Structure 1
Amino acid sequence: MSALHIAPDYSLTPAQVYKDMTLRYIARFQTLDLFRSCDLETCPPGFSSFVPDYASPKSESRLFTVHAHAGSQQSYVGTGDGGIVVRGVNVDGVCKVSPARKPLAVRTHEGDNHADIIATYRAWEPPGLMESPYPLGGTLLDAFVLLLSNGFCKDAYYDGHLPTFAESCDTFTACVWSGGDAELRTEPSHRAYVNELTSDRRGEVFFTTEKGYLGVSPASVKAGDVVAILAGASVPIVLRPQHTLDTRKYQIVGPCYIQGLMLGEGLLGSLPPGWMGVMHETRKWCFQTTDSALRTWEDPRLWSLPGHWQAHFCDIENKGESCQGACEIEYVRGARLADRWFLDMMSGERRREDPRLTIEGLEEGRVVLEAFELV
């Protein structure tokens, strides 16, 4: 709290205190990830939709941080009527929401409700699942298989308990598709994917967008809502238009997971062929060739650094003049990556964040951003 310069003021309402804290946090850390805890359905009276209710416990189903923002940062611009303006990309509109909401997993001595959860996924199966292409590449089946596990597979996360993508597809076909075989769900070869399907980390409602994207969200999404990728927000955010003849405003409905848009595709486009995003041992996202020959922090979709910026891999606290930006070979060892930081040679500023991923940097890279006024 001291870093945010917050002092107690008991004359303020909870709504005012929480809003002040939210805005100070955004301004200080240049991140919009607090929006992951927003929930329009349970938003208390008098609260702005972009202010989480910090008195209400949030479950894991509010979605883990991913990389939809591509590592970008931003603060906000205040409006005269208490709203804020943030920048991002309007990806698509929600057109259909499944009436079947996934139940929370329950495990007791008498058993579990895995069958009910699997039945919900059966109800979610989109038409043409086995033969249709997915708008963002690949097949609709592949997209649906990954969606149900929020993309958690060993190919990207490396964690030993996770299934590979191939194992996920096999288990889905055997145990989920069109009802599946309940007896197979406990088989060792299928258990890893079933565990992901029945974890409480999942979003609870399934929806599709006008372009055919598949999404899940713990929020009460409705047809007519829009999905936005906001710079500084690690997951897509569902917004509800509040437009009038004079203004275009939005309320935050809540976070969501959109298959194919969780690694910066909404801001920077698809990764080039032969590249994939993977979770580094430090729990940050890096990029790797599909043949595993190269791992790097550098997003292959980014343009060159501005001429007055240098990337460094030595100690950011090093004040010596000897390093001229050629420290990568010395500090990168095998598959492990050294932390990277950036030096502005004009001003002497040192920062850990990529200058290309600020709002100004994105616009210089010709990323077209829209302004969203949130209320």
Structure 2
Amino acid sequence: MLPKGEKKLIDVNYKKPPADVYKDATLGIVETHHDLSILQECEFQEGLVGPTWVPNWGADTQVDMGAYLGFKTSRLAAILDASQAAERGVMRIVGPGITAIEDLRPSGIDLESADLSAKLRNLFSGIQTEGDYVAEGSFRYPESFRIKRALPPFFSGGTLREAYAAALLRGKVATATEPENYGCSSLDYVASAVQLVCSPSATKNLPLKKESLVDLRMFCARRQLLRGSNGYIGMAPPAARTGHLIYNVSGCDYSLLLWDAGERQFQVVGCCFVSGAMEFQALLGPLPARVEAVFFRANCNCLGFRNRVTRDLTD
């Protein structure tokens, strides 16, 4: 797990049980670099021990928190709570909850799937684009995927297909399943491909460029199409289940899918790509129970935080 150069900086006791070794190594990387991007390498797999641990500090109502708001330029540093730093194994992570998974549709696509165009069309059936945004009443089939209102554009002002394309171009979409010499094509190619797939006039055999098909295969292979609360849609890893929560975690380029493991801890299930959450980076929580975020609804900006008890408002 640790590169050679890191082993001299990060002290890990390899005599501990494997789960504790991964936990200590993960925490050591975060503490050394003040960067949570290591969590993007986590993907939960049944029967395998991996660095999948994140504490649910949102359940702690006795702590005061510093509130931050910002847009990600490249990668934001992790926000760690100094008061808990002395207790090794405890790490406070700041990141807004995006959605909870309500329904999943397996992609049925792997790296060797034939008739990829048709399978992509079937996977995205019911998702229609209208102008620059997703049309109201998408997800006509199956019934559980029906969305009853129009989805908003994602926060940085782009569209669903641009969000998917941006996710592809940031790399590491399919973890270790990339074929040799794989490289994403241009943003325009991928955006056009997603637009074609989602278009109501798309035919069974889509006229996609070879590069775009490769990109979409990598994006969808072994993943599941999700419908979340509040109308969010996206792609989830194989281990995703209904009820799992999706968070934007400070310092990570992708939204992370988390599972509440009890004892105030989350497990990282894997990276998740969600419309409405691809570019925006705001540090809003999960907040202690007595703190609430105050939003400007027109553009989803956070104006500040209010103490539920004293009603004091802070920037």
Specify whether residues 213 and 260 from structure 1 end up closer, same or farther in structure 2 by C-alpha distance, changes over 3 A only.
Answer: same
Equivalent position of 1:221 in the other structure: 240
Deviations 1:129-176 (A, max 9, x none): 5532422359xx951x345545447xxxxx9941517x8447743797
Moved more, 88-97 or 74-83: 74-83
CA distance in 1: counterparts of 2:207 and 2:123, whole angstroms: 20
CA distance in 2: counterparts of 1:19 and 1:178, whole angstroms: 49
- Are 1:102 and 1:117, in contact at CA under 8 Å, matched by a contact in 2? no
Specify whether residues 205 and 25 from structure 1 end up closer, same or farther in structure 2 by C-alpha distance, changes over 3 A only.
Answer: same
CA distance in 2: counterparts of 1:171 and 1:128, whole angstroms: 10
CA distance in 2: counterparts of 1:147 and 1:237, whole angstroms: 16
2:128 counterpart of 1:123: no
User: Secondary structure at the residue paired with 1:15?
Assistant: helix
Deviations 1:214-256 (A, max 9, x none): 211224222211111111222111112345xxx6542222111
2:23 counterpart of 1:16: no
Specify whether residues 202 and 28 from structure 1 end up closer, same or farther in structure 2 by C-alpha distance, changes over 3 A only.
Answer: farther
Equivalent position of 2:111 in the other structure: 105
Equivalent position of 2:43 in the other structure: 39
Is the radius of gyration larger for structure 1 or structure 2? 1
The answer for unaligned runs of 5 or more in structure 1 is: 52-66, 107-112, 154-158, 274-300, 302-362, 369-375
> Counterparts of 1:161-172 in structure 2 under 5 Å?
161-164=185-188, 168-169=191-192, 172=195
Percent of residue pairs bearing the same amino acid type: 15
> Counterparts of 1:283-294 in structure 2 under 5 Å?
none
- Are 1:68 and 1:236, in contact at CA under 8 Å, matched by a contact in 2? no
Aligned length: 239
Equivalent position of 1:74 in the other structure: 78
- Are 1:68 and 1:229, in contact at CA under 8 Å, matched by a contact in 2? no
Specify whether residues 214 and 49 from structure 1 end up closer, same or farther in structure 2 by C-alpha distance, changes over 3 A only.
Answer: same
CA distance in 2: counterparts of 1:43 and 1:84, whole angstroms: 25
> Counterparts of 1:147-158 in structure 2 under 5 Å?
149=165, 151-152=167-168
TM-score scaled by structure 2? 0.58
TM-score scaled by structure 1? 0.50
Specify whether residues 248 and 13 from structure 1 end up closer, same or farther in structure 2 by C-alpha distance, changes over 3 A only.
Answer: closer
Deviations 1:179-205 (A, max 9, x none): 6253734xxxx3443232123686721
Equivalent position of 1:372 in the other structure: none
Counterpart amino acid of residue 119 in structure 1: K
CA distance in 1: counterparts of 2:47 and 2:73, whole angstroms: 25
Name the Cα RMSD after superposition: 4.4
Shift in Å, 1:27: 0.1
User: Secondary structure at the residue paired with 1:21?
Assistant: helix
Specify whether residues 120 and 152 from structure 1 end up closer, same or farther in structure 2 by C-alpha distance, changes over 3 A only.
Answer: closer
Counterpart amino acid of residue 227 in structure 1: I
CA distance in 1: counterparts of 2:272 and 2:73, whole angstroms: 13
Counterpart amino acid of residue 13 in structure 1: P
Deviations 1:33-66 (A, max 9, x none): 1111222333636x66328xxxxxxxxxxxxxxx
- Are 2:42 and 2:51, in contact at CA under 8 Å, matched by a contact in 1? no
Counterpart amino acid of residue 251 in structure 2: G
- Are 1:105 and 1:200, in contact at CA under 8 Å, matched by a contact in 2? no
Specify whether residues 203 and 84 from structure 1 end up closer, same or farther in structure 2 by C-alpha distance, changes over 3 A only.
Answer: farther
- Are 2:103 and 2:242, in contact at CA under 8 Å, matched by a contact in 1? yes
User: Secondary structure at the residue paired with 1:256?
Assistant: strand
Equivalent position of 1:336 in the other structure: none
- Are 1:163 and 1:193, in contact at CA under 8 Å, matched by a contact in 2? no
Counterpart amino acid of residue 260 in structure 1: G
Which of 5, 28, 33 is the equivalent residue of 2:32? 28
CA distance in 2: counterparts of 1:101 and 1:68, whole angstroms: 30
Specify whether residues 213 and 70 from structure 1 end up closer, same or farther in structure 2 by C-alpha distance, changes over 3 A only.
Answer: farther
Equivalent position of 1:232 in the other structure: 251
Which of 275, 282, 286 is the equivalent residue of 1:259? 275
Shift in Å, 1:24: 0.9
Specify whether residues 137 and 238 from structure 1 end up closer, same or farther in structure 2 by C-alpha distance, changes over 3 A only.
Answer: closer
- Are 1:215 and 1:256, in contact at CA under 8 Å, matched by a contact in 2? yes
> Counterparts of 1:186-201 in structure 2 under 5 Å?
190-199=209-218
> Counterparts of 1:260-339 in structure 2 under 5 Å?
260-267=276-283
User: Secondary structure at the residue paired with 2:32?
Assistant: helix
CA distance in 2: counterparts of 1:191 and 1:177, whole angstroms: 22
Counterpart amino acid of residue 52 in structure 2: S
Which of 8, 11, 22 is the equivalent residue of 1:6? 11
Equivalent position of 1:136 in the other structure: 153
CA distance in 1: counterparts of 2:73 and 2:220, whole angstroms: 20
Specify whether residues 68 and 150 from structure 1 end up closer, same or farther in structure 2 by C-alpha distance, changes over 3 A only.
Answer: same
